Structure formats: C-alpha cells, structure tokens
Amino acid sequence: MKANPGILVAHPTGNQNVRNVLRALQSANCLNAFVTGLAFADEGQASIAWLKRAVEARIYSLPKEKLKTVPAREILRIFASRIAPRNRMFDKVFTSDAVYRSVDFAASRALQRDANRIDAIYAYEDCAAQGFQMAHKLGIQCIYDLPIAYWETAQKLYQEESERWPDWVPTMPGLRDQKEKLDRKSVELELADVVICPSEFVANSIASSAIARRLQKKTVVIPFGSPSEAVSVADRPSRGPLNVLFVGSMTQRKGLADLFQAVRILGRSDVRLTVMGAPISALNFYRERLPSLIHEPPRSHREVLALMDKADVLVLPSIVEGRALVVQEAMSRGLPVIVTPNTGASDLVREGVNGFVIPIRSPEMIADRLAWMADHRDLVLEMGRHSRESSDKASWAEYREGIETLVNSLVLVDRKMRNGQSPTPSAGSGKVR
C-alpha cells in the first residue's frame, strides 16, 4: 500500500484556484502529476527578464517531472488569437474546447501508464470525461472540480437572458454550446465520486440537475481564497465623482447589460463607470449602448489590483458564475461591492456594511444603491474598511487545507473499502451536501 495518496490533476491552463490545489497536494507530498497544455517549471530556465514576463502565467513551482504537457494546440490557439483575434475560421479550428479535449485525452493516457501509483484523478469541467472513463476502468477515484454553475442551470439562465436582451446574445457564447459538449459535461458529473464547488450557488445548480437527483451526488463546498496583502483604504477621496468599476469579460453572463441600464436610469454626471475586460463584440457595440463608458483593456493581475485602488465600488451583477474571485480581490483592496447571489460570493457581503446583495436582473436596484453611495461618500469609505476586514475571512491557506483534508479522506476511505474495512469518511473543512 502506498504511504501517500497519488493524485493526478488535469486542467488546460492553471488559474489561481488550480495553482492552490497543486500547492496543497505538493505540500502534502501526494501530487503524482499535473497534466496541462503549456507549462514551465520554475527552475531558472526563464531567468531572462523579458522571457520570464512572457511565460510567467505558465510557470509553476513544481518539479519538472511533475508537469505533463500537451502544448501544441494551446500554442496554436494563443498564436491565432494574437494574429487574428476575431477571425471566425481560426475560432473554429483553434478552439479552447480542442485544448481541453487534448488535456483530457493526455490525462487518460497518464492514468493508464501510471495506474499503480495513482489513487485519484482531480479534473475540471470540460477536461474530465475521458480521464474519468479511464479511471472507472482502473478502479481509480474521480474528483470533479466544478468552478461555475452546472450547465443545465446555466443554459436555462442564458435562454432567459436571450429573451430579455436579444441584442446581447452575441456576448453569450455559452448559448451556442453544442450538444456534444453538453453531453460531455453530463458524463463528467455522472462519473464523479465527489464534486468540489466554490459556492452554494454552484452546489445548488448540481443538486437541481437530473443526474444528481438520480445518483445522489456528493458535493463539497470549499470557497476560494482572497489575496492576503495588506492595503490602506484611507487615501480614497470622500468627494468628487463616484468611480464605479466592473471587471470581467464584457458579456451579459456577468450582467453587463443590467449595469449599463442602471447607469442610464441613474443619469448622473457624478457617477462614472469603468469596465475593464475583453470585449466579446466590437467595442462600438458597447459604446452605442452607453456612450459614457470608460473602457480599460485586460491587463496583468498586478495591474488589475492597481486599477481597483482608483475605484470607489465594484459592481458585478452576474447571471451565471461560480465564485467570482474578482469580488474577493476588490474587497481585499478595500472596495465595497454590489453583487448578485449568482456571483457565489454573497456570503462575504454584510448588507449596508461592506456592500449590497441585489437580485439578478435588477438594474433599478443597482441604480438605487449607486445613487445612495454617490450621496454618502464618507460612509462608502467606511464600507471599504469593513470590506477589507471581510476578505480576510476567506484565505487561500484555508482553501488549501480543505482540499488536502478532503482528498486524503476520500483516498483513505477508498483504501479501507478495498481492504474490506468499514469506512469512516471525514468531510474535511468543506461543507458537505
């Protein structure tokens, strides 16, 4: 019997939460490998400053032998997006879905090659179907990390939005997901032994699915962490225009049409909206709907935090989300927030103390809250201080502890069952549903 569990992790890119999963498993000495698209080990090969900046988003603090990469499709996708960002032919050939499928296939092959040293596969939405199918053949546990609402809930909400805002349909690519892709998502959930969710909103979306009702799927809620660096909020002005910030892709999935409508309803020159994100349609599409829009293009994470320091409030009226990390990042910078329950972060908001939670599809309520903030600037500063305090309640250290405890618990229970012993499962530090 292996002294430590061996966990294979599969994800095409490696965002903040993936990196913390890897860190937790590596620290516990139970990471078998990380299967991904393009990745580099942080072992000094990118010591030249300009080269390190170019690839820093794909550098991992892992031994080189732990990285299993399938870079070809990801390199082609990145290259195509640079030379022809809106070329429809390239969009069809060099798709993110193709990258996800290639990582999924590579994970299934890695399981087959190294099955005697792997206890579980930890995979994410859209790159887990083949890996989970292979794991079931080999008797290996399947841990499914679902960072956003399950597709049945998402599709229902998308369809409703297409009827509310038909001109915003081009900004919701999820509406165009093919049946094959949705079927793969169903396979992933069906084969999962446990589903890790970042919020109650995601957990509820799974509970309402046909598969979960039939198979009584176990879900565990482990919220993402917040940035930990300290920041002063005292130097924000208590007068002048109210600087409202939206950060994210420019889509109605994130409620941008409702925010635009709120600013139009408000009609105040002392409220300025800045949208930082990648346009899904041509920029003129957005300017036609809100001529006063201030647009900031995507930038590095460090620069996003700097932009937050110049704002007074973050508004994210999302329709479909998982747990919006941008909300926690904004709170860590001392910003009050206006969010919907569907952001997955409303548990951090104390109504009127560090922000407001408003129902989805409520531009009138957004306008009302912004008007109040514009008229009570001193109180907005105080809300920002409370917001900074609240962000400390969700730490990445706590997230890593939850992941490590849960994974160890699942593997130990599985080993006992294989040996004919009575399992005594532990919930870890997450909330079991």
What DSSP line would sit under 62-84, residue for residue? Answer: S-GGGEEE--HHHHHHHHHHHH-
Strand order in the sheet with 141-145: 67-69, 31-36, 7-10, 120-124, 141-145, 194-197, 219-221, 431-432
CB-based burial of residue 274 (10 Å sphere; 0-12 exposed, 13-18 middle, 19+ buried)?
Answer: middle
What is the reported pLDDT for 301? 83
Strand ranges, E, within 98-216: 120-124, 141-145, 194-197
What is the reported pLDDT for 81? 62
Whether 220 and 404 have beta carbons less than 8 Å apart is answered as no
Burial per residue of 61-75, b for 16 or more beta-carbon CB atoms within 10 angstroms, e otherwise: ebeeebbbbbeebbe
Helix (H, G, I), strand (E, B) or coil at 59: strand
Distance CA 227, CA 12 (A): 23
Q: Longest C-alpha distance within the chain, in Å?
A: 71
What is the reported pLDDT for 418? 58
**Number of other CB atoms surrounding residue 26 within 10 Å:** 18
Strand order in the sheet with 313-316: 294-296, 271-276, 242-247, 313-316, 337-339, 355-357
pTM of structure: 0.88
Distance CA 81, CA 95 (A): 10
Length of the chain: 433
- Rounded (10°) CA dihedral 399, 401, 404, 409: -110
Question: What does the DSSP assignment read for 220-260?
Answer: EE-PPPB-------TTS-SSS-EEEEEES-BSGGGTHHHHH
Helix (H, G, I), strand (E, B) or coil at 276: strand
* 291-311 residue pLDDT tens: 999 999 998 888 999 999 999
Cα–Cα distances in Å, from 104 out to 118, 126, 128, 150, 168? 16, 8, 6, 19, 32
List Cβ neighbours of 399 (8 Å cut-off, separation of 6 or more).
17, 20, 24, 222, 223, 224, 225
Whether 398 and 191 have beta carbons less than 8 Å apart is answered as no
Residue-range domains of the chain with CATH: 7-225+396-432 (3.40.50.2000), 242-391 (3.40.50.2000)
Whether 319 and 157 have beta carbons less than 8 Å apart is answered as yes
Helix (H) or strand (E) holding 339: strand 337-339
Question: What are φ and ψ of residue 144, in 5° steps?
Answer: -110, 120
CB-based burial of residue 155 (10 Å sphere; 0-12 exposed, 13-18 middle, 19+ buried)?
Answer: middle
What is the reported pLDDT for 383? 95
Among 185, 179, 203, 303, smallest CA distance to 247 is for 303
Q: Helices 363-375 and 377-391 meet at what angle, rounded to 10?
A: 110
Which long-range contacts link 297-302 to residues 24+ away (Cβ below 8 Å)? none
Task: Scan for tokens 């994970």, then name that residue.
Answer: 107
433 residues of the chain, pLDDT tens digit each = 345 679 999 999 888 899 999 999 999 999 999 999 988 887 545 444 444 455 667 888 899 999 999 887 777 776 766 665 555 544 555 678 888 999 999 999 999 999 999 999 999 999 999 999 999 999 999 999 999 999 999 999 999 999 999 999 999 999 999 999 999 999 999 999 999 999 999 999 999 998 988 888 899 999 999 887 655 554 676 778 999 999 999 999 999 999 999 999 999 999 999 999 999 999 999 999 999 999 999 988 889 999 999 999 999 999 999 999 999 999 999 999 999 999 999 999 999 999 999 999 999 999 999 999 999 999 999 999 999 888 877 889 999 999 999 988 887 666 555 555 555 444 445 666 6
Give Cα 189 distance to the centre of its chain. 18
